């Protein structure tokens, strides 16, 4: 079979630094090639080069040959949809560019991407994240592209959605499209890819058939990457401890819609409570009620038996220090105008009156692998994974009794993720961990709470919930995770 | 919130606003030095005569009493009669509304395409010569008061070159469209500048956005990208500005009306304030406030359509 | 293009601020609109050059002061409305402004000016009154967005001081909004000051004031154009220059 | 005088429509001639209606609808014979109409402008002798009764007329249509008693801005532009598109000092003020040379004007001396002014400049223009003043008698009141002239009006318009369109 994609010695340089350095690969129709690697290793840059694009300030050289049309599913699908256009109009516009009956073309593309046709009357903001992703996929599929480039299609999706996306891509490939997959999610790679190219700092570390590379890695880097991947295992039961943080009948709403209904939970000292659920089920809202960022909730949050003021403004320094939060989106939780170090150190200054906050901050940053050179840059100079770690240190400097972590592993490669999980496991405080990744949950959690559309549908020890799930959502989440791990394409 | 419920709620707030506006205007007019009798007496301010005029106008009744009966009339759709001429206020408003509406509507009809065109052209050539020249001109024009621009245009095109009639004196605006050219140019100069700058800024942002980049990848043509994808995003702030311009236009383009002799609402307003003709000022305030409320409502509804996201969040 | 903006700002600004010191005390009066001195005479026979020297300060000061005052009132107004809890405060602050916006600004201008009579403070007040609701609205929007930012929430979780969470961070974040707004706002203030003289508001009709000069001398445009042209060009140069300077600063800031 | 490149068409020609641009009062204008207040209303009333008398070029009363008038020996009964004239609807103008018109003006429940001038008519005892003869009874002897007949707004309307939506008068033009604040269209009255007008049609259009009136004239949109500035006149002198017509002595420009309060209750200080004013400079800069220097007296060129009193000139040294003598050195006086009339503010600042170095400081205060006249009648001590043409007798009666309604200078002298009473009951013209001269001498010596100039009234017209008179504004021949033709 002749390759439809042929890349030879691709280089991308920005400001004297090589972002991509001598990448070569080829891909035939109906096959899947995965580019894997840590955050910042050059995946997106390579993917854009296939489209003949590059970020401003980046110079690209080398040979890129693509036969036929190429479709692209970008890393953030929400940003790729025009907020003021209904979906239908844009689809008709795209269809008009191709030969054939427009209605037919759109219908086919929607069917292939599993987008219900009645979504066409909506605006992008009226869709869930997963739906947005599928809509963008459908847009790329109109008129049968020869090649599809999908950039991190599963990042930040819950296991059920993630599995759906994998299924969709699989069926697209089955129809003869060549797929270039840019991801750090090895489960997805196993599920979809025929070949894997492992990138590290822009260089190809290892390449070959998926089974060869992932199951019998030759390079130490690849081996480490694969080894660090957590698996969903059913943990054994640990004895319950005296509750530190208690939630009683927490009910929260965003304007008129109730997003949390009568949720009661507890976490003991040194325990880890995992909160899982599909996207939009209310996990972040729950976290914000606990840390005082959603002061209008009903019910009560208690720390060591004493009710915590609902609003951050009413909390004393000690109370502030005792409950800390790591935001879901690390980049937006930093002030872009100040260095990361100075921002991280402020916690120690304000909440503990530390005399040498900077030294303390530097030490803890170093412990999570961030050196001084990195920390003294502004947030824009750090990768997503680095910022996530900095945000964690910022919270930990308060020496909290309760730490609430919202999706802190989603943007990370397996190696970085593993080191972070080790750090969390060693924490003496109570941890509330919000995660889509049940493998992470299984690794850390003592107790698991499952939220579904604002209701607490399951709550118990990790062994019970993960081992003997009773609610269909839990079963769904868990089942899909297992599937993702075990299913392999042949 | 549904569009209709939103509109109904806004209208209810609007009614309260109108009431508040007329109250404020009443208080302000009461606070003006002198009253209608003094103004009418003019350079013959014999106190006895002023007293007689005051009695004839009913100004000797307490202010609250007069305001009360005016409000009572308003509730019955009656705007009262002019203190000075005794003609019904409605007749004044109808007289002035025609010319002002002709000017305002024509200005609006021209304003939107003109400023969009200018803004888009400047944005597509961002940083280029065309962009810099339009920027300098729009900023310069934006700071020139209408009267100064009008003086120059009249002197040049009306008097010196004789290409266009220098005023609209005694003319029927619709029958002799030539008289409208200069007033419209003067009227449009400032709003076109401000709105085209907004469109330009919005367009530049939109052209650099991810969704436009994505649309390009999908192979959509350059023209469609510019006008169907980028432009709608650039229009939302411009629509708000257009709404405010409408208010300005309907609020009587006093200067333009005076310089070009268009007997519209602006002229009536100035005269009525000078004559302290309270019912007429009040009637105008009602018209202005109602228009402002409606125009802003329409702008918000259009904004709802143009930026569905922001309204949903707000 | 480089430096053009600065030049356009400096010349009128220098003339405006330093000019009054160079006006001789014993000014003579001649016939109106005579071409007998450098820039001729104005509508009451005063030397136009002296009037130009003396007349910039009011225009520039009023425009600057009014703009400054609009921000001094409008920014805290909008920020307090946006950040306030309970939200009733927001309504209490913003509803009256909606009301102000529902009265045509011209009506406000004519009525308040007639009530208050002429005088520079009145002019500053009126221009501020017309501008600040708009400023408050813009900055309320900006502050609402900033108040919801995780970065600010993170600072509050860190127990940051009121000064840093309510002033330093929002202030820094609003600089761009401010810079983008202030060029246009200053131009608008200059325009309003100039228009006010046409409406007979604020300054006495024969004041030494660039804006008044444009209005009052226009009758003599055919006899002696300098009395109109020079002050008009100075006003326009000032606004164009200010906008060019602000634009450049904004672009520089965006690049960094 | 009249200037312009092309001389006005010399021989009168019939036909055509003349459009005349005036400043207006916006939509508040009405066609009721008794309510007339503005120039445009006066001009329109004049075209549609007649008064019994009107003011001639020397501002003395001339017969109009009245063919002649005869007082009895007591000067309290006046027999007036009407001319044969008809209203536009064909009905003759009768004595009854005259009595009804005056009764309407004098209605105690209304406030027409002519009321004060006609107040001395004893209506109950006046009567219609026959169809064309009226006998008026007056409350006191009054030789100047014709001045009252010529008063502003004393028009004769058909008896019972109340609705002036489509007015019917006896004037040279008939009503066609009216759009308030915009225009009034009239057509000629071929049966006018003084002969039909030359014009077929006359249209009054409203343009409040002076520049707009001038531009409309230059653009050929109107043929007559009322009330132009000297600057406009100068700009277009010699132009082939605009002829300038000046009416000298039309408006007096002055400062009014109040005599009943400090500091101007001091006669020396008033004289000092008279001597401070540099009148030629005021005329030069404020009136742009379009006017004459005044001598602190009203009515230059009018009947009874005392032109034998020597012209005052600036004398700074003497003024300084008088200021010191009055103990007013270092005093600051507020000069109230406003834009209520053209040139007042400018005159005030020029005068304030002239007072520099005299020991007295004059501070100009600009007040509200709409209530200016009422404000300055009561408040302050020094104010700007301006007045249009009227007979000298009327000026005195309205502004200088102890009980006058608009006595802005608070001039209150029993002996002066006496002189006036004697003058208006003196039949002999020469003797009366002597009494007026005596009154003017005392005003000149120690009165409160510092009258510095008489402004020309300036009208622009197309060069082909003929028959425009240069009589002072407010007199009969001013804005008299039945004598005007389009060449
Ligand atoms: N415009 C640019 N100028 C300079 N460096 C850039 C630019 N864009 C990206 N980079 C750098 O290039 C490197 C590769 O970026 P790229 O987006 O391809 O990474 P990635 O593998 O897709 O990472 P992620 O998993 O986080 O999406 C990163 O180190 C990034 O900081
Ligand atoms: N500011 C807001 N205004 C209105 N609705 C909101 C707001 N924030 C969240 N919601 C809605 O509340 C619900 C719960 O949101 P929440 O952010 O708690 O979900 P989540 O479980 O954290 O989802 P994810 O896994 O995608 O982060 C969702 O339906 C969401 O759309
Ligand atoms: Mg990437
Ligand atoms: Mg979340």
- C-alpha pair distances (Å), C256 with each of A59, A337, A378, A380, C253: 21, 10, 12, 11, 5
Q: How far is A4 from A50, CA to CA, in rounded Å?
A: 11
Average pLDDT for residues A58-72, to the nearest whole number?
86
Residue B22 within a domain: no
Q: How far is A26 from A400, CA to CA, in rounded Å?
A: 51
Rounded to the nearest 10 degrees, how much is the dihedral formed by the CA atoms of C118, C121, C124, C126? Answer: -50
Average pLDDT for residues C207-211, to the nearest whole number?
81
CA angle in degrees (0–180, nearest 5) for D394-D444-D430: 55
Domains in chain A (CATH in brackets) are 3-227 (3.40.50.300), 243-335+397-485 (3.40.50.300)
Across the interface, of A72, A81, A94, the residue whose CB is closest to B211 is A81
Q: Is A58 in the pocket of ligand 1 (CB under 6 A)?
A: yes
Q: How far is B29 from D487, CA to CA, in rounded Å?
A: 49
Extract the tokens encoding A256.
Answer: 């008129």
Residue D241 has pLDDT above 90, yes or no: no
Residue for token digits 């103008």?
Answer: D93
Extract the tokens encoding A220.
Answer: 């130490």
Residue B285 within a domain: no
* Per-residue pLDDT tens over the stretch D275-293: 999 999 999 888 888 899 9
Q: How far is C137 from C97, CA to CA, in rounded Å?
A: 9
Chains D and C touch (3+ CB pairs under 8 A): yes
Residue B118 has pLDDT above 50, yes or no: yes
Average pLDDT for residues D172-189, to the nearest whole number?
91
**Nearest CA-CA partner of B259 in D262, A310, A163, D216:** D216
Average pLDDT for residues A420-449, to the nearest whole number?
87
The domain that contains B224 carries what CATH number? 1.10.3720.10
Packing angle of the helix pair C210-217, C48-83 (nearest 10 deg):
120
Beta bridge partners of D81: D68, D133
Q: How far is C145 from C142, CA to CA, in rounded Å?
A: 5
pLDDT value of position D60: 92
pLDDT value of position D146: 94
Residue B225 within a domain: yes
* Per-residue pLDDT tens over the stretch B62-91: 888 888 888 888 888 888 888 888 888 888
Residue D319 has pLDDT above 90, yes or no: yes
pLDDT value of position A483: 45
Residue D28 has pLDDT above 80, yes or no: no
Residue D438 has pLDDT above 50, yes or no: yes
pLDDT value of position B30: 83
Residue for token digits 């209810």?
Answer: B12
Residue C106 has pLDDT above 70, yes or no: no
Chain B residues whose CB is inside 8 A of the C105 CB are 247-248, 251
Q: How far is D216 from D196, CA to CA, in rounded Å?
A: 28
* Per-residue pLDDT tens over the stretch C125-180: 888 888 888 888 888 877 877 777 788 889 988 888 888 888 888 888 787 777 77
What's the Rg (C-alpha) of chain C? 22
Residue B47 within a domain: no
Chain C residues whose CB is inside 8 A of the B13 CB are 98
* Per-residue pLDDT tens over the stretch A367-420: 888 888 888 888 877 777 788 889 999 999 989 999 999 888 776 777 888 888
pLDDT value of position A490: 30
Per-residue burial over D120-140, b = 16 or more CB atoms within 10 Å of its CB, e = otherwise: bbeeeebebeeebbbbbebee
| Contact between chains at B292 and C101 (C-beta distance less than 8 A) | yes
Residue B184 within a domain: yes
Q: Using CB atoms within 10 Å of the CB of residue B91, give its burial: 0 to 12 exposed, 13 to 18 middle, 19+ buried.
A: middle
Task: Give the count of domains, chain B.
Answer: 1
Extract the tokens encoding D467.
Answer: 């028959």
Is residue C85 very low, low, confident or very high in pLDDT (cuts 50, 70, 90)?
A: low
Q: Is A269 in the pocket of ligand 1 (CB under 6 A)?
A: no
| Contact between chains at B38 and D203 (C-beta distance less than 8 A) | no
Chains A and D touch (3+ CB pairs under 8 A): no
| Contact between chains at C85 and A293 (C-beta distance less than 8 A) | no
Chain A residues whose CB is inside 8 A of the B221 CB are 97
Residue B83 within a domain: no
Residue for token digits 């909008």?
Answer: C78
| Contact between chains at C102 and B250 (C-beta distance less than 8 A) | no
Rounded to the nearest 10 degrees, how much is the dihedral formed by the CA atoms of D310, D316, D318, D319? Answer: 90
Report which of residues D251 and C175 the model is more confident about. D251
Query: Is there a cis peptide before residue A152, judged by omega within 30 degrees of 0?
Result: no
Extract the tokens encoding D233.
Answer: 């006149």
Q: How far is D409 from D400, CA to CA, in rounded Å?
A: 8
Across the interface, of C150, C153, C158, the residue whose CB is closest to A347 is C158
Checking B244-248 for CB contacts under 8 A at 24+ apart, the result is B245/B108, B245/B111, B245/B191, B245/B194, B245/B195, B246/B104, B246/B108, B246/B291, B246/B295, B247/B288, B247/B291, B247/B292, B247/B295, B247/B296, B247/C101, B247/C104, B247/C105, B248/B191, B248/C104, B248/C105, B248/C106
Average pLDDT for residues D460-465, to the nearest whole number?
93
Helices assigned H by DSSP within D178-277: 210-218, 230-235, 267-276
CA angle in degrees (0–180, nearest 5) for D235-B271-D458: 25
Average pLDDT for residues D385-407, to the nearest whole number?
92
Beta bridge partners of D86: D92
| Contact between chains at C151 and A332 (C-beta distance less than 8 A) | yes
Residue C186 has pLDDT above 80, yes or no: yes
Report which of residues D49 and B135 the model is more confident about. D49
Q: How far is A451 from A284, CA to CA, in rounded Å?
A: 11
Residue C2 has pLDDT above 60, yes or no: no
Q: How far is D259 from D243, CA to CA, in rounded Å?
A: 44
Phi first, then psi: give them for residue B106, nearest 5 degrees. Answer: -60, -45
Which atom from ligand 2 is nearest to the alpha carbon of A278? 25
Pocket-testing residue among A76, A284, A434, A457, ligand 2, by greatest number of atoms within 8 A of Cβ: A284
**Residues D199 and D486: beta-carbon distance below 8 Å:** yes
Q: Is A405 on the interface with C (CB under 8 A)?
A: no
Helix, strand or coil, per DSSP, at residue C127: helix
Residue B248 within a domain: yes
Partner chains of A (3+ C-beta pairs under 8 Å): B, C
Residue D340 has pLDDT above 90, yes or no: no
Q: How far is A191 from A183, CA to CA, in rounded Å?
A: 12
pLDDT over 70 percentage in chain B: 94
pLDDT value of position C255: 61
Report which of residues A238 and A444 the model is more confident about. A444
**CA of residue D298 relative to chain centroid, distance:** 12
Sign of CA dihedral A412, A414, A415, A418: positive
Q: Which of A113-117, A342-346, B163-167 has the lowest mean pLDDT?
A: A113-117
Report which of residues D317 and D8 the model is more confident about. D317
Enclosing domain of residue B259? 89-274
pLDDT value of position B3: 67
Q: Using CB atoms within 10 Å of the CB of residue D112, give its burial: 0 to 12 exposed, 13 to 18 middle, 19+ buried.
A: buried
Report which of residues D25 and C217 the model is more confident about. C217
Residue for token digits 């009234």?
Answer: D457
- Give the chain A residue nearest B213 (alpha carbons): A80
Average pLDDT for residues B119-133, to the nearest whole number?
84
Is residue B170 very low, low, confident or very high in pLDDT (cuts 50, 70, 90)?
A: confident
Strands A3-14 and A17-28: antiparallel
Checking D216-220 for CB contacts under 8 A at 24+ apart, the result is D216/B166, D216/B167, D216/B169, D216/B261, D216/D21, D217/D21, D217/D241, D217/D242, D217/D460, D217/D461, D217/D462, D218/B158, D218/B159, D218/B166, D218/D242, D219/B158, D219/B159, D219/B162, D219/B165, D219/B166, D219/B167, D220/D462
Q: For all residues of chain A together, what is the average pLDDT?
A: 84
Sign of CA dihedral A336, A337, A341, A343: negative
Which atom from ligand 2 is nearest to the alpha carbon of A158? 25
Q: For all residues of chain B together, what is the average pLDDT?
A: 82
Residue for token digits 């000051």?
Answer: C193
pLDDT value of position D151: 92
* Per-residue pLDDT tens over the stretch A345-363: 998 888 888 888 899 999 9
Which atom from ligand 1 is nearest to the alpha carbon of A48? 18
Most confident of A123-127, A168-172, A363-367, B20-24: A363-367
| Contact between chains at D116 and B46 (C-beta distance less than 8 A) | yes
Is residue D244 very low, low, confident or very high in pLDDT (cuts 50, 70, 90)?
A: very high
* H or E element that contains D54: strand D53-55
**Residues A93 and B228: beta-carbon distance below 8 Å:** yes
Q: Which of A64-68, D140-144, D186-190, D398-402 has the lowest mean pLDDT?
A: A64-68
**Residues A22 and A33: beta-carbon distance below 8 Å:** no
Q: Which of A122-131, A154-163, C160-169, D134-143 has the lowest mean pLDDT?
A: A122-131
Across the interface, of A332, A337, A346, the residue whose CB is closest to C160 is A346
**Residues D387 and D400: beta-carbon distance below 8 Å:** no
Residue B221 within a domain: yes
Average pLDDT for residues D389-412, to the nearest whole number?
92
Helices assigned H by DSSP within chain C: 4-18, 48-83, 88-102, 105-116, 120-147, 150-157, 162, 169-198, 210-217, 226-255
Chain C residues whose CB is inside 8 A of the B18 CB are 102
**Residues D302 and D391: beta-carbon distance below 8 Å:** yes
Q: For all residues of chain C together, what is the average pLDDT?
A: 81
**Residues A151 and A72: beta-carbon distance below 8 Å:** yes
Residue for token digits 């080894």?
Answer: A227
pLDDT value of position D4: 44
């Amino acid at each position: 079979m002749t390759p439809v994609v042929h890349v030879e010695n691709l280089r991308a340089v920005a400001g004297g630094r090589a972002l991509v350095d001598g990448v070569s690969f080829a891909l035939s129709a109906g096959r899947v090639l995965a580019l894997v690697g840590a955050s910042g290793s050059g995946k997106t840059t390579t993917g854009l080069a296939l489209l003949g694009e590059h970020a401003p300030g980046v110079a690209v050289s080398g040979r890129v040959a693509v036969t036929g049309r190429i479709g692209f599913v970008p890393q953030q699908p929400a940003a790729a949809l025009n907020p003021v256009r209904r979906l239908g109009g844009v689809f008709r516009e795209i269809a008009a560019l191709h030969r054939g009956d427009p209605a037919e073309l759109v219908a086919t593309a929607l069917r292939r991407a599993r987008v219900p046709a009645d979504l066409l009357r909506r605006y992008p903001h009226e869709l869930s994240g997963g739906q947005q992703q599928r809509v963008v996929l459908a847009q790329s599929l109109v008129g049968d592209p020869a090649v599809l480039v999908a950039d991190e299609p599963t990042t930040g999706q819950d296991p059920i959605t993630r599995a759906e996306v994998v299924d969709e891509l699989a069926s697209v490939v089955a129809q003869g499209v060549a797929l270039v997959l840019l991801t750090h999610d090895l489960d997805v790679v196993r599920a979809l890819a025929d070949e894997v190219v492992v990138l590290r700092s822009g260089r190809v570390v290892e390449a070959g058939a998926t089974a060869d590379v992932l199951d019998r890695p030759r390079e130490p880097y690849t081996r480490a990457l694969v080894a660090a991947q957590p698996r969903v295992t059913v943990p054994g039961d640990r004895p319950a401890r005296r509750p530190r943080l208690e939630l009683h009948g927490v009910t929260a709403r965003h304007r008129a819609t109730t997003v949390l209904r009568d949720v009661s939970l507890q976490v003991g000292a040194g325990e880890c409570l995992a909160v899982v659920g599909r996207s939009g089920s209310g996990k972040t809202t729950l976290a914000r009620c606990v840390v005082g960022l959603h002061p209008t909730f009903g019910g009560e949050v208690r720390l060591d038996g004493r009710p915590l003021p609902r609003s951050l403004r009413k909390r004393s320094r000690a109370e502030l220090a005792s409950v800390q939060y790591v935001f879901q989106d690390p980049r937006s939780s930093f002030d872009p105008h100040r260095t990361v170090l100075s921002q991280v150190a402020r916690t120690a200054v304000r909440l503990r009156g530390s005399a040498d906050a900077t030294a303390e901050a530097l030490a803890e940053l170093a412990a999570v692998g961030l050196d001084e050179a990195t920390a003294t840059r502004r947030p824009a100079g750090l990768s997503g994974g680095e910022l996530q770690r900095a945000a964690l240190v910022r919270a930990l400097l308060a020496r909290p009794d309760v730490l609430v972590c919202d999706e802190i592993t989603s943007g990370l490669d397996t190696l970085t993720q593993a080191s972070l999980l080790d750090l969390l496991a060693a924490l003496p405080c109570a941890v509330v961990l919000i995660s889509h990744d049940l493998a992470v949950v299984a690794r850390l959690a003592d107790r698991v709470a499952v939220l579904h559309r604002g209701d607490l549908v399951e709550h118990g020890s990790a062994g019970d919930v993960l081992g003997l799930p009773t609610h269909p959502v839990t079963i769904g989440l868990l089942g899909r995770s297992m599937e993702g791990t075990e299913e392999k394409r042949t | 919130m549904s569009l209709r419920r939103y509109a109904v709620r806004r209208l209810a707030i609007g009614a309260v606003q109108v009431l508040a506006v007329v109250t404020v205007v009443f208080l302000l007019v009461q606070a003006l030095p002198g009253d209608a009798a003094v103004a009418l007496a003019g350079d013959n301010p014999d106190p006895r005569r002023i007293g007689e005029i005051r009695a004839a106008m009913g100004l000797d009744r307490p202010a609250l009493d007069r305001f009360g009966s005016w409000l009572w009339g308003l509730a019955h759709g009656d705007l009262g009669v002019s203190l000075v001429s005794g003609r019904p206020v409605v007749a004044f408003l109808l007289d002035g509304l025609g010319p002002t509406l002709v000017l305002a509507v024509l200005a609006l009809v021209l304003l939107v395409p003109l400023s969009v065109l200018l803004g888009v052209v400047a944005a597509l050539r961002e940083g280029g010569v065309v962009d810099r020249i339009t920027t300098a001109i729009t900023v310069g024009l934006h700071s020139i008061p209408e009267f100064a621009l009008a003086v120059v245009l009249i002197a040049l095109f009306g008097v010196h070159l004789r290409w266009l009639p220098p005023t609209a004196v005694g003319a029927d605006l619709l029958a002799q469209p030539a008289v409208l050219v200069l007033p419209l140019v003067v009227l449009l100069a400032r709003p076109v500048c401000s709105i085209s700058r907004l469109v330009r800024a919005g367009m530049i942002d939109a052209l650099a956005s991810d969704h436009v980049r994505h649309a390009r990848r999908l192979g959509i043509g350059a023209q469609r990208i510019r006008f169907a994808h980028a432009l709608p995003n650039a229009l939302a702030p411009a629509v708000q500005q257009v709404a405010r311009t409408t208010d300005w236009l309907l609020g009587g383009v006093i200067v333009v009306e005076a310089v070009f002799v268009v007997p519209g609402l602006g002229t009536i307003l100035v005269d009525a304030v000078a004559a302290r003709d309270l019912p007429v000022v009040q009637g105008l305030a009602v018209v202005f406030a109602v228009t402002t409320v409606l125009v802003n409502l329409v702008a918000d509804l259009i904004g709802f359509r143009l930026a569905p996201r922001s309204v949903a969040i707000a | 293009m480089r430096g053009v903006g600065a030049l356009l700002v400096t010349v009128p600004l220098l003339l405006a601020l330093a000019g009054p010191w160079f006006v001789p005390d014993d000014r003579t009066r001649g016939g109106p609109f005579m071409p007998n001195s450098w820039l001729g005479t104005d509508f009451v026979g005063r030397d136009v050059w002296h009037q130009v020297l003396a007349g910039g300060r009011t225009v520039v000061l009023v425009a600057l002061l009014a703009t400054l005052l609009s921000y001094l009132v409008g920014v805290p107004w909008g920020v307090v409305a946006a950040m306030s809890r309970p939200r009733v405060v927001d309504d209490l602050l913003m509803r009256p402004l909606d009301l102000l916006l529902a009265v045509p600004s011209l009506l406000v201008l004519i009525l308040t000016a007639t009530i208050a009579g002429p005088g520079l403070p009145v002019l500053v007040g009126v221009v501020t009154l017309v501008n600040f609701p708009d400023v408050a609205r813009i900055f309320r929007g900006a502050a609402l967005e900033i108040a919801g930012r995780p970065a600010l929430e993170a600072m509050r979780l860190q127990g940051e001081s009121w000064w840093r969470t309510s002033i330093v961070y929002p202030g820094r974040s609003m600089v761009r909004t401010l810079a983008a707004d202030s060029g246009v706002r200053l131009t608008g203030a200059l325009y309003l000051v100039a228009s006010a003289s046409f409406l007979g508001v604020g300054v006495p009709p024969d004041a030494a004031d660039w804006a008044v000069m444009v209005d009052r001398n226009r009758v003599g445009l055919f006899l002696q154009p300098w009395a109109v042209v020079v002050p008009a060009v100075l006003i326009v140069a000032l606004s164009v220059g200010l906008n060019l300077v602000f634009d450049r600063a904004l672009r520089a800031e965006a690049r960094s | 005088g009249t200037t312009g490149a092309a001389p006005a068409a010399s021989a009168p020609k019939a036909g055509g429509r003349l459009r005349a641009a005036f400043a207006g009062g916006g939509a508040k204008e009405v066609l009721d001639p008794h309510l007339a207040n503005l120039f445009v209303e006066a001009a329109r009333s004049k075209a549609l209606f007649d008064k019994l008398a009107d003011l001639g070029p020397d501002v003395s009363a001339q017969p109009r609808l009245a063919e002649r008038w005869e007082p009895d020996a007591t000067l309290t009964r006046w027999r007036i014979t009407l001319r044969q004239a008809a209203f536009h609807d064909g009905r003759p103008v009768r004595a009854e109409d005259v009595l009804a018109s005056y009764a309407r003006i004098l209605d105690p429940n209304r406030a027409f402008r002519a009321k004060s001038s006609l107040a001395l008519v004893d209506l109950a005892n006046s009567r219609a002798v026959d169809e064309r003869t009226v006998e008026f009874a007056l409350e006191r002897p009054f030789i100047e009764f014709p001045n009252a007949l010529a008063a502003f707004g004393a028009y004769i309307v058909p008896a019972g007329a109340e609705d002036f939506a489509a007015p019917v008068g006896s004037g040279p033009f008939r009503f066609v249509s009216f759009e308030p604040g915009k225009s009034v269209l009239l057509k000629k009255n071929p049966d006018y008693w003084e002969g039909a007008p030359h014009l077929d049609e006359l249209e009054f259009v409203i343009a409040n801005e002076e520049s707009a009136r001038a531009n409309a004239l230059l653009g050929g949109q109107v043929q007559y532009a009322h009330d132009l500035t000297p600057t406009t006149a100068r700009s277009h002198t010699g132009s082939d598109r605009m002829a300038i017509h000046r009416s000298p002595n039309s408006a007096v420009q002055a400062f009014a000092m109040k005599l009943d309060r400090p500091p101007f209750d001091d006669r020396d200080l008033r004289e000092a003020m008279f001597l401070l004013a540099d009148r030629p400079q005021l005329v030069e800069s404020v009136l742009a040379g379009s006017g004459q220097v005044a001598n602190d007296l009203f009515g230059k060129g009018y009947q009874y004007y005392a032109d034998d009193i020597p012209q005052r000139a600036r004398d700074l040294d003497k003024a300084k001396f008088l200021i010191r003598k009055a103990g007013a050195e270092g005093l600051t006086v507020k000069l109230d002014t406003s834009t209520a009339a053209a040139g007042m503010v400018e005159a005030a600042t020029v005068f304030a400049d002239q007072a520099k170095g005299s020991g007295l400081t004059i501070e100009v205060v600009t007040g509200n223009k709409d209530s200016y006249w009422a404000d300055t009648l009561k408040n302050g001590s020094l104010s700007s003043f301006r007045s249009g043409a009227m007979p000298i007798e009327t000026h005195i009666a309205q502004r200088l008698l102890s009980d006058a309604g608009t006595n802005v200078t608070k001039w209150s002298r029993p002996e002066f009141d006496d002189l006036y009473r004697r003058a208006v009951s003196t039949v002999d013209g020469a003797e009366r002239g002597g009494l007026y001269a005596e009154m003017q001498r005392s005003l000149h010596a120690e009165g409160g009006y510092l009258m510095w100039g008489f402004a020309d009234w300036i009208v622009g017209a197309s060069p082909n318009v003929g028959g425009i008179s240069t009589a002072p504004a407010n007199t009969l021949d001013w804005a008299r369109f039945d004598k005007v033709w389009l060449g």
